[in-house]
Structure 1
Amino acid sequence: MQKDNRDNKVRRVVIAGGGTAGWMVAAGLSKTLGKLLDIRLVESDEIGTVGVGEATIPTLMNFHHLLDINEQEFMAATQATFKLGISFENWRDVKQDYIHSFGLTGTDHWTAGFQHFWMKGRERGLAGDYGDYCLELKAAQANKFAHLPRNGMNYAYHLDASAYARYLRKFSERFGVKRIEGKIVEVSQHAGSGDIRSIRLDSGAEIEGDLFIDCTGFRALLIGQAMGVEYEDWSHWLFCDSAVAVQTPSTGPAIPLTRSIARDSGWQWRIPLQSRVGNGIVFSSRYMDDERAVGTLLANIDGEPLTKPRVIKFTPGQRRKVWNGNCVAIGLASGFLEPIESTSIHLIQRGIVRLMQMFPSDGICQSDIDEYNKQANAEIEHIRDFIILHYHVTNRQDSAFWRDCCSMAIPASLQHRIDLFRETGRVFRVPNELFAENSWIQVMLGQGVMPRRHHQSADLMGDAELSHFLGNISSAIDKTVVQLPLHQEYVDKYCRAPA
């Protein structure tokens, strides 16, 4: 019988699969723990990656700070542009749009959020749109961007995901990560524990390890196929199960927004990089076949395609355990939520940071596994609810897809948030939740959920005081936006990629 290695010190880490997830894991572990570990990454040049996660959220900067990555160098290497939020077009209803921007809106009072004072202002005819009080949103509307003192502008990136993986590969190899070329053809497990002992490649090479990171994408070769960890399907809440991706040349200045354009059976993305645009359509195969999806996408792009349309199939949901035995799944192997809020790379990053915080240097213990899984499960469920919100709360009734989204039963946790905001205007953030109060407020207002009442503290302001309070915020934002350079001009000067 093979000896169970569960009590051994973890020194040999094997990352199965490359792409964005694999090389982010390699970069994070090698930079922080590389002197203590033998890290090997196995990938095959013959196996393609999904490679369409090209929009990010501001949390990626935390990961880059951890790695001491130079922003200008990274952006030039990945054809990156800046992102201030997401433009949701046709979501509330056809030809009704809103922006979910980064950052804060207005100024909160200790008794109540800014939205209550804004609602009072609207009631009295003293307030503009909710977005008029958010710097990032107003800058995005004006197509402007700049770094401001004291991190005064919250932003993320649009990037070439394949180039990002290449960039992180070079970074990781400088810190000792060894890349091994080959396809995984067999996974060997310890007879007693079921833990993974080694992986065998098509070359015949056998790679042993103490800890295995499954970054094999939707195939989940280790945690799913070998270890048999089940997958929890969320398609009864998230109908979209397919995507088509294509690239086009840039036909105009890059804007600092990801565009999310709702179609009759899903939605289309447009992500502007420095020299090209990433395009795609996410749709439900129950309401639209692949051929019509490709046709819809190609009819709504600018410029001739640079690549052939590529159809991607997926099941929204999560692995019931993302850490099982001596195997941790990160990236698509752990679960998948469609990219409507650009959370894919964030979830990779969170899995890495959580692993570094709980790294089993002195041996794997069940309490670490349980805590890791508990945190990972809670995090993705909060994001799941936020994504379901976009579909469920809408006035669209123009297709079966949207009518069914409106009428479906939703998680009780989400229903509570909607009811709370609709009745009281209040939003409370769950501890360690990704999306803060302002994100929920922007999306619920944008989708048409208007609270029935505001907090009584807003009534303590007279009209003159409230008008002054709101006007000072909006005028300060307008003065800042006027002075900002155009986004494309700033990118050209700051981080232009080599021709």
Structure 2
Amino acid sequence: MTPHTLTPVRRLVIAGGGTAGWMVAALISKVLGKQLDIRLVESDEIGIVGVGEATIPTLLSYHELMGIQEAEFMAATQATFKLGIHFEGWRNLGEDYFHGFGTTGKDHWTAGFQHFWLKGRERGLAEPYTNYSLEWSAAKAGRFAHLPKNGLNYAYHLDATRYGQYLRGLAEASGVQRIEGKIGEVELAASGDIAALKLGDGTRIEGDLFIDCTGFRSLLLGQALGVGYEDWSHWLPCDSAVAVQTASVGEPLPYTRSIAHPFGWQWRIPLQGRVGNGLVYDSRRLSDDAARSTLLAHIEGETLTTPRTLKFTPGQRHKTWHRNCVAIGLSSGFLEPLESTSIHLIQRSAIRLMQMFPAGGVRECDIEEFNRQSQNEIEHIRDFIILHYHVTNRRDAPLWQHCGSMDVPASLARRIELFRETGRVFHAANELFGENSWIQVMLGQGILPGAHHPTADLMGDVELGNFLGDIRAQVVRTVAQLPTHRAYVGSYCGVAEVAPKTST
């Protein structure tokens, strides 16, 4: 495109609602609502996926940008707090580990805490690595509270459908117009750009920039504009999920459970009044009917919904922005919810678009930069998820045999080799998962480094023992002062203090 052909963007059309559509609408309308005509097209007849109920701490940043009051949001979405993910049976049958938010122990400017822990382990002075994590100790004890200076890092478990509705209220208050209707046709201009969406009743919705939030269908970017898809199922073989909601039968745990099975894994996500359950599996190794039966055999409490089966192909579109269309959410790509990154990817795309908003017209340089950043971000997360499957001692089922022996992306292989040989973690700027996330998962999956930084050798047994012991003692003291998670949620965002049901 040359400068004189640029068309200023004044009319923004968002195709599809749900978390993705309303998250984008709420953010852009808050900032540019007075300068843009923003319309969102969705149909009540088309269901939303709505099972992405676990989040990561980056959502707090989005809420801060939006000026969202936490207690109000949590009450509206029946949310609870989340301190991390408990992985059960991923390394070996009967062995668990925790990926907690925040940091573990205390770093030195020369080296991370893991090096001092490795030296302490060598000398018989160290407890398990997770014992030096405040988040894990609080999670294990079922406790939570807001601490000064963000001392306890957290995210949320939330009702995704209610979250979309909550964001819709914010967006409409900022001037977004919702149009009810099913998209029957995506009308292209002679230039190849999208000119309008034609609804089933014949209504035409014209726009200058279109946001594709139509889910797996990718009606605009994938179907109308023909942008292809890169399939990652050779690294991530699970291609299906079945989800169901159940009544709560116990205290809401302040963490997500991820339970490995021979053919995939199961999630349990506790909200204020119910639990979200799901089974992610490889349909070549487990039929849909068997998956449904397996999930129902491994849940607690009365089922509140009919189990829903979802089909997906892990991967990404070759471009997430093409011509005058930006795909956000499932329409741009999909990674299974193992590390609760779906809402994060929506959030990052929405913020990136806001920061690069083409008010003066769509420029190729913006498209290229947007696509470069989007690709780097999802590939980093992809590698982190593959790590869980690939580095494992399990060989009890074909899925685990395949994952343990498969070739992995070179970018992941380098990270694994570096940690295994040196105990160090390579971390590029702007990557989602920090050093401690990689350390927790690599140690948890069974990689024990063969070396540590020489700084740790400078400590004698007494000094190193005191160093590790003081960290652990501080964690224990802090957790002992915290209220129970359920009591804190009850007082903070108004959930009724009723005794949980007992399972039968």
* TM class, shorter-length: over 0.9
Unaligned runs of 5+ in 1: none
- Residue type of the partner of 2:428? V
Provide closer, same or farther for how the CA distance between residues 402 and 5 of structure 1 changes in structure 2, counting only shifts above 3 A: farther
In the alignment, the residues of structure 2 paired with residue 60 and residue 203 of structure 1 have an alpha-carbon distance, to the nearest angstrom, of 37
User: Paired residue for 2:209?
Assistant: 211
Provide closer, same or farther for how the CA distance between residues 173 and 497 of structure 1 changes in structure 2, counting only shifts above 3 A: farther
1:35 aligns with 2:34: yes
3-state DSSP class of the match of 2:416? helix
Shift of 1:190: 1.3
Shift of 1:496: 2.8
Normalised to the residue count of structure 1, the TM-score between the two structures is 0.98
Cα pair 1:6 1:364 within 8 Å, conserved: no
- Residue type of the partner of 1:195? D
- Residue type of the partner of 1:149? P
In the alignment, the residues of structure 2 paired with residue 149 and residue 455 of structure 1 have an alpha-carbon distance, to the nearest angstrom, of 32
3-state DSSP class of the match of 1:459? helix
User: Paired residue for 1:483?
Assistant: 481
Shift of 1:275: 0.4
Shift of 1:431: 1.4
- Residue type of the partner of 1:229? V
User: Paired residue for 1:100?
Assistant: 99
In the alignment, the residues of structure 2 paired with residue 498 and residue 186 of structure 1 have an alpha-carbon distance, to the nearest angstrom, of 47
Q: Choose which of 302, 314, 336 in structure 1 pairs with 2:334.
A: 336
User: Paired residue for 1:132?
Assistant: 131
- Residue type of the partner of 1:48? G
User: Paired residue for 1:225?
Assistant: 223
Cα pair 1:89 1:98 within 8 Å, conserved: yes
Cα pair 1:229 1:320 within 8 Å, conserved: yes
In the alignment, the residues of structure 2 paired with residue 453 and residue 427 of structure 1 have an alpha-carbon distance, to the nearest angstrom, of 13
Give the alignment of 1:1-400 within 5 angstroms: 7-192=6-191, 194-400=192-398
In the alignment, the residues of structure 1 paired with residue 130 and residue 58 of structure 2 have an alpha-carbon distance, to the nearest angstrom, of 22
- Residue by residue over 1:363-419, the C-alpha shift from the partner in whole angstroms, topping out at 9 and shown as x without a partner, is 110000000000000000000000000000001111011111101111011011101
- Residue by residue over 1:34-66, the C-alpha shift from the partner in whole angstroms, topping out at 9 and shown as x without a partner, is 111110000000000110000000000000000
- Residue by residue over 1:440-470, the C-alpha shift from the partner in whole angstroms, topping out at 9 and shown as x without a partner, is 0000000000001111110011111111111
3-state DSSP class of the match of 1:36? coil
Identical counterparts, % of pairs: 68
In the alignment, the residues of structure 1 paired with residue 431 and residue 136 of structure 2 have an alpha-carbon distance, to the nearest angstrom, of 22
Cα pair 1:77 1:497 within 8 Å, conserved: no
Cα pair 1:85 1:258 within 8 Å, conserved: yes
Bigger mean CA offset, 148-157 vs 50-59: 148-157
- Residue type of the partner of 1:11? R
- Residue type of the partner of 1:191? A
Provide closer, same or farther for how the CA distance between residues 186 and 426 of structure 1 changes in structure 2, counting only shifts above 3 A: same
In the alignment, the residues of structure 2 paired with residue 406 and residue 251 of structure 1 have an alpha-carbon distance, to the nearest angstrom, of 36
3-state DSSP class of the match of 1:35? coil
3-state DSSP class of the match of 2:39? strand
Cα pair 1:322 1:373 within 8 Å, conserved: yes
- Residue type of the partner of 1:431? A
Shift of 1:497: 4.4
Cα pair 2:54 2:157 within 8 Å, conserved: yes
3-state DSSP class of the match of 1:298? helix
3-state DSSP class of the match of 2:34? helix
In the alignment, the residues of structure 2 paired with residue 433 and residue 164 of structure 1 have an alpha-carbon distance, to the nearest angstrom, of 26
3-state DSSP class of the match of 2:90? strand
3-state DSSP class of the match of 1:42? strand
Cα pair 2:490 2:496 within 8 Å, conserved: no
3-state DSSP class of the match of 1:91? coil
Cα pair 2:489 2:495 within 8 Å, conserved: no
Cα pair 2:89 2:260 within 8 Å, conserved: yes
- Residue type of the partner of 2:102? G
Shift of 1:305: 1.1
Provide closer, same or farther for how the CA distance between residues 177 and 481 of structure 1 changes in structure 2, counting only shifts above 3 A: same
Cα pair 1:61 1:156 within 8 Å, conserved: yes
- Residue type of the partner of 1:332? L
Bigger mean CA offset, 451-460 vs 5-14: 5-14
Q: Choose which of 453, 456, 459 in structure 1 pairs with 2:457.
A: 459
Cα pair 1:76 1:498 within 8 Å, conserved: no
Shift of 1:110: 1.3
- Residue by residue over 1:138-174, the C-alpha shift from the partner in whole angstroms, topping out at 9 and shown as x without a partner, is 1011110000011111100000000000001111100
Shift of 1:191: 1.2
In the alignment, the residues of structure 1 paired with residue 93 and residue 306 of structure 2 have an alpha-carbon distance, to the nearest angstrom, of 29
- Residue type of the partner of 2:155? A
Shift of 1:304: 2.0
Cα pair 2:329 2:345 within 8 Å, conserved: yes
Shift of 1:68: 0.1
- Residue type of the partner of 1:79? Q
Bigger mean CA offset, 241-250 vs 125-134: 125-134
In the alignment, the residues of structure 1 paired with residue 427 and residue 156 of structure 2 have an alpha-carbon distance, to the nearest angstrom, of 25
Cα pair 1:244 1:280 within 8 Å, conserved: yes
In the alignment, the residues of structure 2 paired with residue 404 and residue 436 of structure 1 have an alpha-carbon distance, to the nearest angstrom, of 28
User: Paired residue for 1:414?
Assistant: 412
In the alignment, the residues of structure 1 paired with residue 305 and residue 171 of structure 2 have an alpha-carbon distance, to the nearest angstrom, of 29
- Residue type of the partner of 2:39? R
In the alignment, the residues of structure 1 paired with residue 393 and residue 433 of structure 2 have an alpha-carbon distance, to the nearest angstrom, of 23
- Residue by residue over 1:347-367, the C-alpha shift from the partner in whole angstroms, topping out at 9 and shown as x without a partner, is 000000000110001111000
In the alignment, the residues of structure 2 paired with residue 5 and residue 40 of structure 1 have an alpha-carbon distance, to the nearest angstrom, of 27
- Residue type of the partner of 2:459? M
RMSD: 1.1
Cα pair 1:75 1:497 within 8 Å, conserved: no
In the alignment, the residues of structure 1 paired with residue 30 and residue 86 of structure 2 have an alpha-carbon distance, to the nearest angstrom, of 35
- Residue type of the partner of 2:325? C
- Residue type of the partner of 1:340? L
Normalised to the residue count of structure 2, the TM-score between the two structures is 0.97
3-state DSSP class of the match of 1:56? coil
Cα pair 1:57 1:156 within 8 Å, conserved: yes
3-state DSSP class of the match of 2:89? strand
User: Paired residue for 2:500?
Assistant: none
User: Paired residue for 1:470?
Assistant: 468
3-state DSSP class of the match of 1:92? coil
In the alignment, the residues of structure 2 paired with residue 310 and residue 424 of structure 1 have an alpha-carbon distance, to the nearest angstrom, of 45
Bigger mean CA offset, 467-476 vs 50-59: 467-476
Cα pair 1:81 1:272 within 8 Å, conserved: yes
In the alignment, the residues of structure 2 paired with residue 413 and residue 286 of structure 1 have an alpha-carbon distance, to the nearest angstrom, of 28
Give 4+ residue runs of structure 1 displaced > 6 Å after superposition: none
- Residue by residue over 1:225-255, the C-alpha shift from the partner in whole angstroms, topping out at 9 and shown as x without a partner, is 0000000000000000000000000001101
- Residue by residue over 1:66-98, the C-alpha shift from the partner in whole angstroms, topping out at 9 and shown as x without a partner, is 000010000000000000000000100111000
